[in-house]
Structure 1
Amino acid sequence: MGKYDLLAKDIIKKVGGKDNIVSLVHCVTRLRFNLKDESLADDEALKHTEGCITVMHSAGQYQVVIGNHVPQVFADVCNLANIKTEAAPEKKRMSFREKSLDLISGIMMPAIGILCACGMLKGLNSILAYLGLYSDADGIYILLNAIGDSIFFFFPVVIGFNTAKKINMNPFLGLIIGAALCYPTINGTDVPLFGHVINTTYTSTLLPVILIVFLAKPLESFFNRVIPDMIKTFITPMLVLLIALPIGFVVIGPLANMLSNGISQSVLSVYKLNPIIAGFLVGGLWQIMIVFGVQIVLVVLCITNIIAGTPDPILAFTTFVTFSTTGMIFAIWLKTKDKSLKQIALPAWISGFFGVTEPAIYGILLPRMKQFVLSCLCGAFAGAATAALGLKYHTMAGMGLFEIPALLDPAQPGRSLIYSLIAASVSLVVGFVVSFVTFKDEAPLNTKDEDTSEKYKKDVIASPINGKVMALDQVKDAAFASGTLGQGVAITPTEGKVTAPFDGTVVMLFPTKHAVGLMSDHGCEIIIHVGMDTVQLSGKYFEAHVKEGDRVKKGDLLISFDKDAIEEEGYSLDTPILVTNTKDYMEVIAINNSGSTVHCGDDLIAVL
């Protein structure tokens, strides 16, 4: 059983069941589903599921934002839903924009992690050489530099494999197309072909191999149809390579290189007009791009520049946006008196130092729109500061603190490191100060007319059931009677219905419908457990009128049950009402004496 099995089961259920899942991948913080019918997914229930931050519809995908532990949740979802991660996904109807983003993500995302790893190795190598541990003529420097450079030099091999896999073509055929383009004797030298002399370079390129693989796909499909099964496993790839590579080398490749250079120069020309304004705009828009899931566009442009040997300023503008956001969340964590917000903010600012800001954006900033707008302005400042210091991406690297090696200029690593630390510190401090000055906890409701005798009362839990009150220690179940699951009371019902004891949210509903968990608007968490051992009825005689994630008002019907039928089956209907977060309160007080009669809506428990 996986660590996140329960969360995985919940997610599968709320996206419409495993039969509704076409395919599933994940990025740093999100599960990215392709669903047969997105209308079957319950957005609101997922947003209110513990362990899920929010839900996004982007790039033709149904995205569930999880946070740093998404790989473990992904593994458990795949295991429970029998999802084969290598299986080719079924196609679903998508708009042109969605198809484009899905294609870019499918080609680039599998390579991002290893790109960052190699980039960090290059940055580390530069730092160690700068510190004098060895020189750039030493064997260890040469070896580490070769390891770091390898993926950038042979990038067509990686992208050829990914592209072929994405478009359901033999991925090893795509790999060989990329490898052929990197062959030393045909790069940067005169090659006479078909009456023309071709002199071009395909190592460290991106677009040529993608377009050539796209040409190879219909050729492969055609030859697979017409060539006998006995020989097509080797004849088909031979014919595809024989046709696609010469056309690609002579026609497609040079045109693709021209297009790539044109795009790169266009982007850089915007930067050259006014670097600080460009940094301000990119930094300010970065978090909005994350919200809409289109940040991959800037990443691809950056990779195109880097593998071509051109330092990229555009993605560099986003590096310290995460630091300004982290500073804001740290200030909120220090300042807030709201315990639930503190619980969200603590892991959010810690993960922010490592470049993962989705928990901060979706869990804290977006629900407080003023803070989100301010975070965008702080991000704009961070981008402008990066531009003013002249920092650029020289390689790919990790995120957050691990992104700094990407900014190290091999010619001046020491200066780049100092400037990067200055930019990180200033961005962090600006974000912290802005949020510390502007953030205020939401004022509690209805406090002006509150009676002084009630000023310390945090919540009153009304009776959810008509019946007779019983002291909790009289319940014939040691776990309930001992209070280890929470303090409270029990009620012996006289009617088969359970109503909401306060305004709040349904946070848990047992599949057998015999128990429900609620959280009040003030943070009081309770569980209402109808009967003893009634879980063994497997839902028989119970009917739920709400689902997890529903908002409820005091008095709303939650569960109905056949009281007589359950008692005839031999089950006790003594129903504990427990405050499960008892430790958050000074005292949990039963308002009614044992044996007294209560009705739905009567005051039952006070928490102080």
Structure 2
Amino acid sequence: MGKFEKDAKALIELVGGKENIAAVTHCATRMRFVLNDPKKAKESAIEELDTVRGIFTNAGQFQVIIGNEVPSFYQEFVQLADIEGGSKENVKAVAKQNQNLLQRAVTVLAEIFTPLLPAIIVGGLILGFRNVLEAVPMGWLGGKTITESSVFWNGVNSFLWLPGEAIFHFLPVGITWSITRKMRTTEILGIVLGITLVSPQLLNAYAVNSTTAAEIAKSWTWDFGFFTMEKIGYQAQVIPAMLAGFLLVYLERFFRKHIPEAVSMIFVPFFSLIPTILAAHLILGPIGWHIGSAISTVVNAGLTSSVNWLFGAVFGALYAPLVITGLHHTTLAIDSQLIADFKSTNLWPMICLSNIAQGAAVLAIVFAHRGNEKEEQVSIPSVISAWLGVTEPAMFGINLKYMYPFVAAMIGSGLAGMFVTLFGVRALSIGVGGLPGILAIMPKYYLIFFIGMLIAIVVPFLLTLVFRRIGLFNKIDRVGEAISPIDPTLVESATTTDSANLVNEEIYAPLNGKLFPLSHAVDPVFSQGTMGQGMVIEPSEGAVYAPMSGTISLLFPSKHAVGLIDEQGVELLIHVGMDTVQLNGEHFTAFVKQGDSVTRGQKLLAFDIAAIQKAGYPTQTPVIITNSGDYQVDPLMETGEVTIKQAIMRVQSRE
């Protein structure tokens, strides 16, 4: 009998049998299934298997987290099931067949906007700061604004408009680039197309409503003799840019198939770009503008109507579930359109409050479970993350595990959303969530939004404690019963050791780059601590070095992940990038093989950061102690620039 035969057999049955498996593969940490009928999977029973660390569903894939030994588990699984494993791309393709049209559309929208988020967030911070400088009268300045009272800050405010305008007014450039990047066509053509939508030769979109039709016909029109075309810009417009971007992609794909390779460099870009620009200004732009305006008008009307309180309550309560499904990415497009049409948005304030509410619910768990050091390694960073606008660690790591804090946060968010909507609170920009989100709010609504923030903190906090005490929405964390841990593999009692065998060692950074807490990881499998405790590094150089001396226990064929185990039994995983298993080893070079003995500082891997990012994959690298349930793992620094000569974690035996 193989090591995993028992659990592999059980997993075959629990996913609905081999006939329910449309495709299966694995990556460095998990089995990836595409199931014909996902409802047949018995999730609770799967989580009880000894080798399973957790499960979740993403992009049509049913993923079962195994850990470092997943290659061996996978081999036994496919042999016992008598099926053939698939490649990562095949499984991904099959998974899309399990998604309905709405899910596919949301996935595409998410993949377009995700690369733009860093710019949108920093743009929101910039505009929020400018908001404070130029629009908030200060009592200590005699009722004047900071820009009115200071030449220096007036200059700073004026200068900051440069990046602010570049990010939001020229958003179509980012959208058309992101579409070509996602669809693997020529990215520079996407950039050029975006520029043609916001060129200074065009009438700025913000000036269209104040310009008469006669003036547009006279000064802002191309005359081709037998027809004319308006020179209208699409600054900050989302849908026109998306329509144009996809037309460019499909034209380029068409011409690449039909134009000989010898002349494709010349004619494919020409025949793809020029017709797209023409169609964008003649057909797609006007249509997209009207669609976007219609959507923003409906949303704005609902949130300013006599029943706006109902809209606010419903959206405020349901935004967190939207995050789970991925549908929340659609709100970025709507928010952008609202700002383009109305110079502000009444949707973003509720999103900020939902972030705050999720963090407040986790804070209540921290209070209720105080003393649970293992859980606090996830819960405390999750509070901070949520209050800074990133709720996934809080929701997936704590609130959905227990469920009752998630419901409490939804209720608090709904009440806060209803309150700020009743008073018509609006934001001037997007991108800044959580507590800093107040910077984006129109100054005249600061006090109202602050009260809304208090509601979003106090109500979820109190409801979480009440639900726990009375057992409402709560079956696993009753008062007086043992606390259910986040993950059984992370809270097993450590075995008693002799003092001579006590572990007390420092783990060094395996890469040069910027260090972040584990909750910063974009993949919930890592950010929730499911794989173990550790840190995340955003590499500045494409090289991985041994952070401790030991043996190479795992080297994945795709060379994107390497595992080590030292003489004292500490197991460590270095996972370069997110979903980089899809690259099948491209852009990676290994300098060791499985079973090799290595010393700290020895070079293990090399990888091409620029090529990996160009292929669409983040290079963020989790560094995980995978058997952290046996040890006390403490960070030696929280964040900042690190080199391979610096220790980042301490691993100690439990007392």
Q: Normalized against structure 2, the TM-score is what?
A: 0.56
Select the residue among 147, 152, 158 that pairs with 1:134: 147
Picking from 375, 378, 401, the partner of 1:367 is: 401
Name the SS of the counterpart of 1:283 in structure 2.
helix
- Aligned residue identity for 1:222: F
Q: Deviations over 1:519-551 (max 9, x none)?
A: xxxxxxxxxxxxxx999xxxxxxxxxxxxxxxx
- Structure 1 residues 302, 55: CA separation in 2 closer, same or farther (over 3 Å shift)? farther
Q: Give 3-state SS (helix, strand or coil) of 2:388's partner.
A: coil
Distance 2:174 2:568 in 1: 57
CA contact (8 A) 1:204 1:308 kept: no
Q: Which amino acid aligns with 2:414?
A: A
Tell me the residue number matched to 1:498: none
Alignment TM-score, normalising by the size of structure 1: 0.60
The 10-residue stretch of structure 1 (309-318 or 128-137) with the greater mean CA deviation from structure 2: 128-137
Which aligned pairs between 1:111-510 and structure 2 lie closer than 5 A? 111-129=116-134, 130=136, 131=138, 132-135=145-148, 138-187=154-203, 189-193=220-224, 194-198=226-230, 200-273=232-305, 274-336=307-369, 339=372, 340-407=374-441, 409=442, 413=443, 415-440=444-469, 442-443=478-479, 480=498, 482=500, 484=502
Q: Which runs of 5+ in 2 are unaligned?
A: 1-20, 66-88, 139-144, 209-219, 470-476, 483-491, 505-529, 533-550, 554-566, 570-628, 634-653
The amino acid of 2:431's aligned partner reads A
CA offsets 1:17-72 (integer angstroms, 9 cap, x no match) = xx9469x9xxxxxx9x99685799998899799xx99654244466899xxxxxxx
Q: Decide whether aligned partners of structure 1 residues 191 and 56 sit closer, same or farther in structure 2, where only a CA change above 3 A counts.
A: farther
How far 1:179 moved relative to its partner? Answer: 0.7
Q: AA paired with 1:289?
A: L
Q: Are the counterparts in 2 of residues 302 and 312 from structure 1 also a CA contact under 8 Å?
A: yes
SS of 2:401's equivalent? coil
**Which entry has the higher C-alpha Rg, 1 or 2?**
1
Q: 1:207·1:257 contact (CA, 8 Å) conserved in 2?
A: yes
- In 2, are the aligned partners of 1:205 and 1:304 still within 8 Å (CA)? yes
Contact 2:353 2:413 (C-alpha < 8 Å) held by counterparts: yes
Aligned partner letter, 2:232: T
Shift of 1:242: 2.2
Structure 1 gap ranges (5+): 1-15, 25-30, 66-86, 447-459, 465-471, 473-478, 487-505, 514-532, 536-578, 584-606
- Cα-to-partner distance string for 1:488-522 (whole Å, 9 max, x where unaligned): xxxxxxxxxxxxxxxxxx999xx999xxxxxxxxx
Task: Look up the SS of the partner of 1:57 in the other structure.
Answer: strand
Deviation at 1:105, TM superposition (A): 0.8
1:396, distance to aligned residue in structure 2 (A): 1.6
Give yes or no for contact 1:208–1:256 (8 Å, CA) kept in 2. yes
Cα deviation per residue 1:246-303 (whole Å; 9 max; x = unaligned)?
Answer: 1221112111111111111122222233222111101111122122232112222112
Q: CA RMSD in A?
A: 4.6
Q: Distance in 2 between matches of 1:58 and 1:317?
A: 26
Equivalent position SS for 1:168: coil
Distance 2:297 2:420 in 1: 20
Deviates more, 1:95-104 or 1:366-375: 366-375
* Contact 1:60-1:102 within 8 A present in 2 as well: no
Displacement of 1:157 in angstroms is 0.9
Tell me by how many angstroms 1:321 deviates: 2.0
Which whole-Å CA distance do the structure 2 matches of 1:507 and 1:268 have between them? 43
Which letter does structure 2 place at the counterpart of 1:429?
V
Task: Name the SS of the counterpart of 1:148 in structure 2.
Answer: helix
Distance 1:278 1:422 in 2: 19
How far residue 371 of structure 1 moved from its aligned partner, in angstroms, is 3.3
Distance 1:221 1:427, change over 3 A: closer
More divergent stretch after superposition (56-65 vs 231-240): 56-65
Contact 2:361 2:406 in 1 (8 A): no
Q: Quick check: 1:122–1:149 contact (8 Å CA) kept in 2?
A: no
Structure 1 pair 480–512 and aligned structure 2 pair: CA distance change class (3 A): farther
Identify if the C-alpha distance between structure 1 residues 329 and 482 changes in structure 2 by more than 3 Å, giving closer, same or farther: same
Secondary structure class of the residue paired with 2:164: helix
Distance 1:344 1:140 in 2: 39
Shift of residue 161, structure 1, vs aligned partner = 0.5
Match of 2:103?
98
1:448-497, Cα deviation, whole Å (9 max, x unpaired): xxxxxxxxxxxx99xx9xxxxxxx9xxxxxx84625259xxxxxxxxxxx
Percent of matched pairs sharing the same residue: 20
Shift of 1:580: 5.2
Residue 557 of structure 1 corresponds to: none
Is the contact between residue 415 and residue 455 of structure 2 (CA under 8 Å) also seen in structure 1?
A: no
- Cα pair 2:171 2:236 within 8 Å, conserved: yes
Distance (whole Å) between structure 2 residues aligned to residue 255 and residue 327 of structure 1: 43
Do the aligned partners of 1:365 and 1:372 also contact (CA within 8 Å) in 2?
A: yes
